[in-house]
Structure 1
Amino acid sequence: EISIAIIGAGITSLALAHGLLQHPHIKLRIYEARPKLGEDGTGVGIGANGQNALSLISPQLRQSLDDAGAVKCVPSLRLMLAAGSYAGTLVKEMDYDPPQATVVRSRWVFEMVKAVPEGVVQTGKRLAGIEEVASSGKVRMTFEDGGEELVDGLIGCDGINSYVRSYVFPSAEGIWSTGFNTRMMIPITEGRAIFGDEYCAKQVQTGWVGDAGFCMTDFEDGGDLMQVIAGFQTDEHIPELLGKAYAEVPKSLFLDPLQSWGWIGERISEVIRRQEKMFAGARRVSPIATTYVRGKVCVSGDAARAFSPARGAGASAGIEDALALSALLGEARRPADVGKAFALYDKLRRPRRDEVAEASLDAGRIITGTHPDAGTDLEKLRAKVADWNGFIYRYDLKG
């Protein structure tokens, strides 16, 4: 028997759990710091690679995405121009097979956890210490509530603020990016009233490239909810947003730059005006890590390397990680094999995550109209997005 602990109970963690629970020789526990699961009600896109990875882990896991009300986007993404002389012009429609699916994170977490046996997930367990015990070859975890556990392997799926990452790679503090963004979820009835029936009839992701900004709309919960995203680049950090996931801000922070965005700017401004309070956040990305592994401890998902959401590839990358880890640990036959499995995982996944991370940074410049080789020039943008995310979706998951 091999005992494995996962820290964090998000998408990557639960996808990994679905894989590991198929192996009878693995004893699994998941520890979540929050008192309850599924507190993130924002939407997330799962691309072709993520959906294929779900299917390879288990058909039941793939089905959970549909059961959570995922909306299949056909086309997967419509990219529009919101600035310059061609404002309102289509840049490109991206079609993928399978099409991108958008889903409310919390709804999906609830569906994923249904197949996890009772007692595997423990909430209110915040990790406070990690120690590899040389005499036994095990990993000792200490929690803030005073509890301790010994396991054969520890996997950190605890996000950008990962405690486990600080153990594996101590100099890996997240880097705050300049700019700010917000995500708003509204009923589809309100969406139709603001954006019109024609705009909402085609339930796809629609991104708008502006002057130092990007806005997007998509649909979740079987089409009953509409998500509206707005983000803008700034030359300097906004002090009030540093060190916080989200902070309350004046509506003018978004309304002022949206004045030059034409029709879509007017529509998103109306959504903002209807909000009781306005919240914004700054983005953080992880520095390049020299390793995802330290002995019998490793990190996965955003805990390994969080990157810009510009390609919508973060959640799917975590599912890829889960597929790799579950396959490698499934081949382990004794506790001593765990470290070897983690080392192979690092060799396989770190280059892939780094490639997607760097491409996502570049994509952030493209979709905010700030790329030095494109700006808001229509034809230059079309050239930049000609094979959008192609290298991500062509990745050989079975190899």
Structure 2
Amino acid sequence: MTDKNPLSVAIVGGGIAGVTLTIALLQKCPHMQVTLYESASAFGEIGAGVGFQPVMVRTMNLIDPRIGAAFDKCSKGNDDVYDPPLWFRMRVGDERKEDVKLGEQIFELPARKGPRGGVHRAHFLDELVKLVPEGVAQFKKKLVDVAEGEDDDVLLKFADGSTARHSVVLGCDGIKSRTRPIVLKGDSEAAKAVFSGKYAYLVAFSSKPTWGDPNWVVSTSREDMLEDYKHWSPAVRAIMDSLQKPDIWALFNHPPAPTYYTTKPLICLVGDAAHASTPHQGAGAGMCIEDAYILSELLSQCHTKSDLQKAFYAYDAVRRPRTQKLVKTSREAGMLWDFEGEGIGDDLEALEKNATTRMSWIWDHEILGDLAMAKDMMAEA
């Protein structure tokens, strides 16, 4: 591509991943034209809170310090209460564990020092979209298909009958992604999310083997909800009893994808579209931030479609192992917290040993090392 015909990027999906990547590309890739397509009539997030540990907050600032400032504005943490910082305090909540007193503390899970905390998804997104200039985003654009166009461009087709032509598509369209099955054509098992065996009321988790309802969020009665927690402590039951109109949120995750990109048409998956996980390790949104950082840095070096393919190759090689490990270990953590961990069950000593070490690979990661590796791979491709 030349300056007269710059690379044109379509970002599909206006959640945290899509908006963060848009900000990153506008900052790092002034030689590219960037358009964000969102299916809704305005930006908006569903769900409650998401947490970010120091490694993820540092990555926000590497992308653009304004993203870090947006996080700081929304963040709620406990670092001013606990020193050293505390992630969780684990207590026995179920009276069926007869050899331990109900409510007794089992152990504490320390956090890492540094900027960290939780944000409400919608509030954080509200701050991020302030960093997207007017005219970059187009709304009411529900993606139907992506096909190869003329001159190796990609052709996006939307539900309203309109089309758009771009050099490349970056799929940030979440766990119910339309771009994912296009990338994984022929691999129907990996194309769609599967039920994790867990469901939640707010962030109180329970289990069932299958999920038969086509909807992932369903209403339930207070009586059925309280039945799920009849063996729990009075404090827990009092919290659950305060919910007047409870909903059940089924927790899904993606099976491992064999690739995060395809060249015909040229599409790359980012965030939950690539690796949606359960929330049991509190790192899914942070992985989206890491994706945006690595990919935007690689794309900053791209000036041709051949360059794009090399960038996607390097991004896939570096990001896929880490993010798919998160999906796998988050599902395992959901079992662990419910005394269902393989070889651990309700052995509290084994549970503590596992829990106090399992987050290190997420929290102590060196993202700059990943970037250096990815740049080397791109140069050698």
Shorter-normalised TM-score: what interval? Answer: 0.7 to 0.9
Aligned to 1:177: 196
Aligned to 2:135: 119
CA displacement at 1:99 relative to structure 2: 5.1
Provide the rounded CA distance (Å) in 1 between the counterparts of 2:356 and 2:200: 26
Does the CA contact (< 8 Å) of 2:45 and 2:125 recur in 1?
no
What is the correspondence of 1:1-399 to structure 2 with a 5 Å cutoff? 1-22=6-27, 23-40=29-46, 42-67=48-73, 69-74=74-79, 75-83=86-94, 84=97, 85-86=99-100, 87-90=102-105, 91-98=107-114, 100-133=116-149, 135-170=150-185, 171=188, 172-183=191-202, 229-234=203-208, 236-239=209-212, 242-272=213-243, 275=244, 277-295=245-263, 296-399=266-369
Q: Deviations over 1:271-325 (max 9, x none)?
A: 22xx2x2211211111111111001201111100211211011000111110111
Q: Deviations over 1:215-260 (max 9, x none)?
A: xxxxxxxxxxxxxx211012x3243xx3213111112222012121
* Residue range with higher mean Cα deviation, 281-290 or 37-46: 37-46
Q: TM-score, normalised by structure 2?
A: 0.87
Does the CA contact (< 8 Å) of 1:81 and 1:376 recur in 2?
no
Amino acid across the alignment from 2:271: G
- Give SS of 1:44's match: strand
Does the CA contact (< 8 Å) of 1:179 and 1:231 recur in 2?
yes
Does the CA contact (< 8 Å) of 1:54 and 1:62 recur in 2?
yes
- Give SS of 2:368's match: coil
Instruction: Give the CA RMSD over aligned residues.
Output: 1.6
Does the CA contact (< 8 Å) of 1:73 and 1:102 recur in 2?
no
Q: Deviations over 1:66-92 (max 9, x none)?
A: 22x211233233232213233323322
Amino acid across the alignment from 2:53: G
Amino acid across the alignment from 1:380: A
Provide the rounded CA distance (Å) in 2 between the counterparts of 1:395 and 1:41: 27
Provide the rounded CA distance (Å) in 2 between the counterparts of 1:7 and 1:287: 21
Q: Deviations over 1:38-76 (max 9, x none)?
A: 242511111222212101111111111122x21123323
Does the CA contact (< 8 Å) of 1:130 and 1:139 recur in 2?
yes
CA displacement at 1:176 relative to structure 2: 1.6
Q: Deviations over 1:353-396 (max 9, x none)?
A: 11112111211111111113222332221111122411001211
- Give SS of 1:131's match: strand
Amino acid across the alignment from 1:73: N
- Give SS of 1:336's match: helix
- Give SS of 2:242's match: helix
Amino acid across the alignment from 2:103: G
Does the CA contact (< 8 Å) of 1:152 and 1:338 recur in 2?
no
Query: Which is bigger in relative contact order (C-alpha 8 A, separation at least 6)?
Result: 1
Provide the rounded CA distance (Å) in 1 between the counterparts of 2:138 and 2:235: 44
Count of residues in correspondence between the two structures: 346
Identity %: 31
CA displacement at 1:177 relative to structure 2: 2.7
Amino acid across the alignment from 1:230: A
Amino acid across the alignment from 1:58: D
Does the CA contact (< 8 Å) of 1:181 and 1:231 recur in 2?
yes
Amino acid across the alignment from 1:124: K
Provide the rounded CA distance (Å) in 1 between the counterparts of 2:151 and 2:301: 22
Amino acid across the alignment from 1:103: V
Provide the rounded CA distance (Å) in 1 between the counterparts of 2:224 and 2:287: 32
Provide the rounded CA distance (Å) in 2 between the counterparts of 1:348 and 1:147: 35
Provide the rounded CA distance (Å) in 1 between the counterparts of 2:32 and 2:91: 48
Amino acid across the alignment from 1:150: R
* Residue range with higher mean Cα deviation, 369-378 or 277-286: 369-378
Amino acid across the alignment from 2:76: V
* Residue range with higher mean Cα deviation, 296-305 or 253-262: 253-262
Amino acid across the alignment from 1:11: I
Amino acid across the alignment from 2:307: D
Does the CA contact (< 8 Å) of 1:247 and 1:281 recur in 2?
yes
